[in-house]
């Protein structure tokens, strides 16, 4: 049974809250982008 989130419950729109509520595929993509960003900045600096 799916939860109905329209009962006045607020969504957690912080970056950490969105990460926690994301699917595994989205989490993997976010981690990959963060690693790519660190590698890019390491090379540029």
Check residue 8 and give its pLDDT. Answer: 58
Q: Is residue 8 part of a domain?
A: no
The structure tokens listed for 29 are 């993509």
Total domains, the chain = 1
Give the Cα separation of 2 and 5 in Å (integer). 9
Tens of each residue's pLDDT in the chain, 45 residues: 555 555 556 788 898 898 899 999 999 999 999 999 999 999 987
CA distance 35 to 29: 10
Classify residue 26: in a domain, yes or no: yes
> Would the pTM count as exceeding 0.85?
no
Q: Is residue 38 part of a domain?
A: yes
Sign of CA dihedral 20, 23, 30, 13: negative
Look-up of token digits 């790519």: 36
pLDDT at 9: 62
In a domain, 3, yes or no: no
* Length of the chain as a residue count: 45
Q: Is residue 22 part of a domain?
A: yes
**Domain span holding position 37:** 15-44
pLDDT for residue 2: 57
Residue 2: inside a domain: no
Distance CA(4)–CA(24), nearest Å, equals 22
């Amino acid at each position: 049974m799916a939860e109905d989130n329209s009962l006045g419950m607020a969504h957690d729109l912080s970056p950490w809250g969105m990460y926690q509520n994301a699917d595994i595929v989205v989490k993997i993509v976010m981690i990959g982008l963060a690693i790519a960003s660190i590698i890019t900045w390491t090379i540029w600096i």
